[in-house]
Structure formats: structure tokens, C-alpha cells
Amino acid sequence: MFRFKVIKKSKEGEARIGEFNTPHGMVKTPVFMPVGTQATVKGLTPEELKGIGTEIILANTYHLYLRPGHQVIERIGGLHKFMHWDGPILTDSGGYQVFSLNALREISEEGVTFKSHIDGSIHLITPESVIHIQESLGADIITCLDECTPYPATYEYTQRSLELTINWAKRSKATKTNNHQALFGIIQGGMYRDLRERSAKEMVEVDPDGYAIGGLSVGETKLLTWEMIEYTIPHLLPDRPRYIMGIGTPEDIVECVYRGVDMFDCVLPTRNARNGMLFTNSGKIVIRNSAYRLDEDPIDKDCDCYTCRNYSRAYLRHLFMAGEILASRLNTLHNLYHFICLMNDIRQAIFEDRFLQFRRDFYHKRCNT
């Protein structure tokens, strides 16, 4: 059975450290989950992911359902065996991809009909089928189908959308048969305070194992994102993890942790790595910049990842300019390690009751460069 335990709560703000257990191991929170869209975190082996301290990864139900097909993965022994990752996995419901990758889709009470972005075939997914798919993939944490409310959206649309999402969450819970998998319900409510509050309260009634906060970072200002989180979190049960979907930058993570979020996923560190944008404690660097042509320093002098211990900015710039595969691999190793170290530092700061000081220092370092 899935259990989440709060180990310590910050005296100021809502930041907290905790841990949850899964059939594939324990996870310490706040945690960053590298994104493995196609059952692979692009460019890295599971051993490399573990080597940099990755505890849990995310995989996308939508992509794996379309290709290679969840039945294929089930036949081969489930997602863990298929991708040779024996740690915890969270699968999303596919709802976000259905809405973001498909211009042609039709939402009804029953579910969503959409056209595959790969071959144009027509599919209907329902709250029930999404649970069946995720049960056959075998992830440790699975999620309910939701409608990611577009932005901007009218009050009436947002209200109808959240009612649909809550109703789908109830059907998802009723469908689930595997007690080893935890089920997360997704909170929507757009950019309306009362709808966020209502969504949170009604999701508490549904009683999932954890809460995902969806529909944010969809084009609204950061201030509005933080406000919506602040309206949501006080209405959730404190003994369940809170996962904010698709966020974000190191700054976003610090702000969300401050407001009580426990779990994160984002393609930013991996996608930016492949585009040559690298994270450091003093801000981002663009490795293709000619200023690095003769630069013998590592990406970040404070970083002790494999890339920073062994390679200069000049070499990494050369690999990137030459379009070498190794550029993506080394950059991804560094960026993910940077995010994992950030989470370790955050947890340590909360543990030592100095999270606000940590937050001030975090911004100070970035402003001084």
C-alpha cells in the first residue's frame, strides 16, 4: 500500500519534506522526476540516471499507448522490465497530450476522441480505459484522466470542465483494481479562485492517494500560477503528496516548494540540454556562445557531475557545434544532476529549518551574475 509521510514542515511557508514508498522503492520529497516520454529519459541509461541520484521517473501513457502499444509492454513484462528501470515510475493519464498534441478532438461525458499524431488513426479514451492502460503498463503511481482546461477560458467553461474532471476521477477510482498502484487525482479550476477551491475540496472527497495540480503554467503570469497554488493547497489533506504537473524552472520549483508542493516533472532540463542550454547555480548558459570557444572551465565550478569533472566548456561547445551525440548526453547528465542537487539542497534546508534563507541565497546567487 502507498503511504506518504511528512517528516518535517518548515516553520515559515508551507515547505515540507516527506517520503513515500512504492513497490519499487522509497522516494524522498520534494522530488524532481526526469521525464521519460517514450519509456526512456532521452540520452541516458537507467544506470546513469541512478548514478546521478534519480529516484523516480515519469513516463507518458499517451505516447506508450500509441507506440508501441500498452499490450506490447504488458506482454514483455511491464514498463519496468521493458525499459530496464527498476525504480519507481509515475505515468500521467495522457489527458494533457491528447489536448496539446491534437487539434482534432472531441470531449464528451464518456471520454475524449482524438486523432493520433503518428498515423491519423481515431481513438477514444475514457477514464476507465486510461486506468486499464496504466494497469497494464504497471507504473507505481498512475493518474486519472482529466481535461487540462485551456487558458484563457470563461468561468462557465472552466466550471463544466472541472465537473467533468471530478466525475472522471470518481470513475477512475471505481475502475482501479491493482492495490499496489497509487492513484493521483488531478485538480483543475483554471484561473478562478472559487473553482480551484471547489476542485480541491471535491478531489478530497474522491480520496485519491495523492493530488496532482494541473492546468497551470499554460500561459498565465507567474503571479497567477502562485496564487492558484495558494488557493488549492490549504484545502488538500496534508497527509497526501502534492504533485504539480509540468513545472518547471529551478525558480519555479523553489517557489512551489515554498507553497507546499512535493513533486515535480518537467522536460526543461533534458530538452534544454539537447538545445545547448545549461543550468548553473548562477543562472543559465548557452554553450554555443562564442565566448566559450577557448573556455577551459567546466559548465559550473560548483558542480561535481561527470560532465563537469571531465570536460571544458570549450569541448562541450565544440561537440554541440559539430552536432555530436555526446553533446546531448553530457549536457543532459549535467542538467538533470543540477535539478537533483537542487532538490537535495532544498530538502536539507527544510530539514535544518533554514528554507527561507536558502530561498534568499538562491536568488542572490542568480542576481549577482
- Based on the number of CB atoms within 10 Å of its own CB, is 296 exposed (0-12), middle (13-18) or buried (19 or more)? exposed
Q: Does 305 bind Zn ion (CB under 5 A)?
A: yes
Least Å from the CB of residue 306 to Zn ion: 8
Q: Does 303 bind Zn ion (CB under 5 A)?
A: yes
Choose the stretch contacting Zn ion; rule: CB under 5 A; options: 10-18, 117-125, 184-192, 306-314.
306-314
Least Å from the CB of residue 305 to Zn ion: 3
Choose the stretch contacting Zn ion; rule: CB under 5 A; options: 1-9, 57-65, 256-264, 297-305.
297-305
Residue type, 357: Q
Give the x-and-dash track for 255-294 against Zn ion (CB under 5 A). Answer: ----------------------------------------
In the DSSP assignment, the letter for residue 14 is S
Residue 182 or 285 with smaller CB distance to Zn ion: 285
Least Å from the CB of residue 269 to Zn ion: 11
Least Å from the CB of residue 330 to Zn ion: 9
Q: Does 218 bind Zn ion (CB under 5 A)?
A: no
Q: Does 216 bind Zn ion (CB under 5 A)?
A: no
| Region at 298 (left for phi over 0; alpha for psi -120 to 50; beta for the rest) | beta
Residue 169 or 305 with smaller CB distance to Zn ion: 305
| Exposure string over 123-148, b if 16+ CB within 10 A, otherwise e | bebbbbbbbebbbbbbbbbbbbbbbb
262 is catalytic: no
Sequence-distant (6+) residues with CB within 8 A of 153 are 161, 190
Residue 205 or 302 with smaller CB distance to Zn ion: 302
> For residue 221, how many other CB atoms are within 10 A of its CB?
9
304 is catalytic: no
Q: Does 313 bind Zn ion (CB under 5 A)?
A: no
Q: Does 308 bind Zn ion (CB under 5 A)?
A: yes
Q: Does 52 bind Zn ion (CB under 5 A)?
A: no
**Subset of 326-365 contacting Zn ion (CB under 5 A):** 334
Residue 229 or 299 with smaller CB distance to Zn ion: 299
Helix residue ranges per DSSP H, the chain: 46-51, 61-66, 70-75, 79-83, 95-101, 127-137, 155-175, 193-206, 222-232, 250-258, 268-274, 306-310, 313-321, 325-351, 355-367
Least Å from the CB of residue 31 to Zn ion: 20
Dist. CA 219–CA 198, nearest whole Å: 22
How many residues bind to Zn ion according to rule CB under 5 A? 5
Partnered with residue 283 across adjacent β-strands are 280
Q: Which of 140, 265, 295, 353 is catalytic?
A: 265
Residue 326 or 356 with smaller CB distance to Zn ion: 326
Least Å from the CB of residue 280 to Zn ion: 8
| Long-range contacts at 355-362 (CB < 8 A, ≥ 24 apart) | 355/10, 355/12, 355/13, 355/15, 355/257, 355/258, 356/10, 356/12, 356/13, 359/254, 359/258, 362/250, 362/251, 362/254
By CB under 5 A, name the binding residues for Zn ion: 303, 305, 307-308, 334
The catalytic residues are 92, 265
